[in-house]
Structure 1
């Protein structure tokens, strides 16, 4: 297949300065690529990707503090091709289970790096430049009835949902709140049927996994909101996002 001449924006995520420097140098040597940004940890990368829509290829380290590259991939589920760059071979199988394009074992050569890059570019082209389509083509809205009116809402704009007796309060990324007369359990089913990716963290809270920016044993942060993790939901939640469950502190609510 003949590759087109457009540039592919790259995000480098690695906590080691030397590793980032090597990858950036390799990127500069390949005409198809251009460095878009670099992040020193997974949380910074999640925040960056949530606020920028031009990234085409992600170079992702695995062993990083607080949140690993594998955990980041499970939480964010990025549409961009991901190339893992790591010093540890034992994670290779799991990385392919997460649909990584390639797995580069440090120290890797420029030749091996180039091979991974062309696999990623071919992946993008085979899907008809799917990244641009996903980013720029609007998805069909999900209509929510609140206060007697129906409001079109894109699933990606929902931060979390909170149970309010027979209602569900839907909190959007722009701060707007809707109150459909639907209990949380039924609203979760409606969101799932519409293609949303949400996880229940508490009997009163359902959150969008793509908007999770930090996690503690007792709570998570979505947008500007800190929400509690209920005891009965903790194990399933940590399993879903791929983080080993930590011991909760005293005073945690069920």
Structure 2
């Protein structure tokens, strides 16, 4: 199991410590380092495959606690701070862990282990699913997961493309991202989730599945390459 992560930290020395710790954990991949939380808001809109956010509290423009309160990122958040007084509020906002600077590698790895445990429990539950039921108008439809080719966002709906048919459903792409097994499905673009086992080839920034062309950004492609190497 591999995880992508970003750092939100305005102090260069603290950035370097986290970068070094991340580089020493083989299943962590650093996607970016940001000096303020506002830049991350724009980044997360186009890069949905961020698993872990290392978040400082005292940041310019928007502090870490306000960032969590306002934007509620759908990722595992680990707070990194020189101050302990925000810990209770941080845990109330469902952060995974609260690391006090200076951060040792042992303490860092303990926090990462919590993420691994949490995601493993979720994945084990999802992986046991072979099908799910969805509402299609007035009908309840059974969808066998292995038959899903891809899912495309279409305004307030999603088009579920199966091997034998298509369904236009009133579910968001975020819903599908939450209910589908992460080992088999990947959100490669803000508008697409693909079944990894259906990929025919990847050429440049394009994924080919059953002669369909699906775009993928550079950052998402790096995460995808790492993921498919595990299959």
TM-score (norm 2): 0.55
Contact map agreement 1:141 1:153 (CA 8 A) in 2: no
Q: How far 1:7 moved relative to its partner?
A: 2.1
**Relative to 1, partners in 2 of residues 1:52 and 1:70: Cα closer, same or farther, differing over 3 Å?**
same
- What corresponds to 1:123 in structure 2? 118
Q: For 2:43, which of 38, 42, 48 is the aligned residue?
A: 48
Q: For 1:97, which of 92, 97, 100 is the aligned residue?
A: 92
- What corresponds to 2:218 in structure 1? none
Task: Give the distance between the partners of 1:41 and 1:48, measured in 2 at CA.
Answer: 12
**Relative to 1, partners in 2 of residues 1:84 and 1:52: Cα closer, same or farther, differing over 3 Å?**
same
Task: Give the distance between the partners of 2:3 and 2:58, measured in 1 at CA.
Answer: 25
Matched pairs, number = 143
- What corresponds to 1:213 in structure 2? none
Contact map agreement 1:12 1:58 (CA 8 A) in 2: yes
Q: 5+ unaligned residues in a row in structure 2: which ranges? A: 127-149, 158-168, 175-189, 192-231
Task: Give the distance between the partners of 1:48 and 1:83, measured in 2 at CA.
Answer: 18
Q: Which runs of 4+ in 1 moved over 4 A?
A: 136-143, 151-156
Contact map agreement 1:124 1:130 (CA 8 A) in 2: no
CA offset digits 1:91-126 (Å, max 9, x no partner): 000000000000000012110000001101211222
RMSD over aligned Cα atoms = 3.2
Task: Give the distance between the partners of 1:33 and 1:127, measured in 2 at CA.
Answer: 18
Question: Secondary structure of the equivalent of 2:7?
Answer: strand
Q: 5+ unaligned residues in a row in structure 1: which ranges? A: 1-5, 144-150, 157-172, 175-254
- What corresponds to 2:57 in structure 1? 62
Task: Give the distance between the partners of 1:72 and 1:137, measured in 2 at CA.
Answer: 30
**1:70-109 mapped onto 2 (5 Å cutoff):** 70-109=65-104
TM-score (norm 1): 0.50
